[in-house]
Structure 1
Amino acid sequence: MSSRWRTTARWLLGPAYVVAGILHLAVPEPFLQIMPDIVPAPKLVILATGVAEIAGGLALLQNFFPPIRKAAAWGLAIYAVCVFPANINHFAMDMARVDHGLGLAYHIPRMLLQPLLVWLVLWAGQIILWPQRLPDKHD
């Protein structure tokens, strides 16, 4: 059963990352607006992250060479950690606006779901097993 759930997760995550990557390439302005000032060459970073999301999403979907799928899972998990400062920056920018931009109802779940996304992509890519049941000591 766990295998079916992992496959389902991969088939949800893979296309989501591909679409996000395409958006980074096709419409970079919203991503540039939330980029922290300390990031050098922001346009290049947005381009590179778009390409990385597309490649990672496609590699997560493939079933022929598990090491590539695992590398994609690691890459996408690391990517989710690396973009967290942009999420924090976006949150701070919105809260500083008079109308609070997208507001707490958007930003709080987004912040809380980021660690879940890291876990999910690692689990779907078969890097981690949890919450799979451990074998009984008597088995």
Structure 2
Amino acid sequence: MPRSERSPLLLAGLLATVGAAHFATPRQFDAIVPRALPGSARKWTYASGAAELALAAGLALPRTRRTAALATAAFFVGVFPANVKMAVDWRHRPAPQKAAALGRLPLQVPLVLWARGVARGAETRS
């Protein structure tokens, strides 16, 4: 399988893994839901997990890949405030945890670019 064919499937696998984790261990995700969002943190944890699973399914199917990839890029932008909240909340934790929380912030950029690249790749094969 060519690298360009694996990239969407790797991204789908990442989203499916993290999406499933939202249901398996929701408490860790509840903690990073921004307080400004209405309703319970658990509701947002489950909604974002379900969104990640749906995006993973869309990325896995060539027919829906372009739309799912664009939605994935938007999703990564949309969850950025949760990563900011985590970095702020973890600022007084031990150095390794603080570094992990801060490291998540710039990680969003390559994730968005990866999703956009998948969308462009799907366009060229349509």
Alignment-derived partner of residue 27 in structure 1 = 25
Alpha-carbon distance, 1:114 to partner: 0.6
- SS of the equivalent of 2:91 reads helix
Matched, 1:102 2:97: yes
Alignment-derived partner of residue 59 in structure 2 = 60
Alpha-carbon distance, 1:100 to partner: 5.0
Matched, 1:90 2:86: yes
User: What stretches of structure 1 of length at least 5 have no aligned partner?
Assistant: 130-139
Q: What one-letter code is carried by the residue in structure 1 that aligns with 2:74?
A: I
Q: What value does the CA root-mean-square deviation take over the aligned residues?
A: 2.1
Q: What one-letter code is carried by the residue in structure 1 that aligns with 2:7?
A: A
Alpha-carbon distance, 1:50 to partner: 0.8
Structure (1/2) with the larger helix percentage: 2
Question: Which among 74, 79, 103 is matched to residue 78 of structure 1?
Answer: 74
**2:106 and 2:75 mapped to 1: Cα distance?**
16
Q: Can you list the C-alpha shifts for 1:87-132, whole angstroms capped at 9, x where unaligned? A: 01101111134x357122x233321121110010111132799xxx
Segments of 4+ moved more than 2 angstroms: 3-6, 125-129
Alignment-derived partner of residue 10 in structure 1 = 8
Q: What one-letter code is carried by the residue in structure 2 that aligns with 1:116?
A: P
Alpha-carbon distance, 1:4 to partner: 3.0
Which protein shows a greater Rg? 1
Alignment-derived partner of residue 111 in structure 2 = 117
- SS of the equivalent of 1:95 reads coil
- Identity value in percent: 26
TM-score between the two structures when normalised by the length of structure 1: 0.78
Matched, 1:47 2:42: no
Residues 40/88 of structure 1: CA separation in 2 closer, same or farther (3 Å cut): same
Q: How many residues align structurally?
A: 122
Q: What one-letter code is carried by the residue in structure 1 that aligns with 2:43?
A: L
User: What stretches of structure 2 of length at least 5 have no aligned partner?
Assistant: none
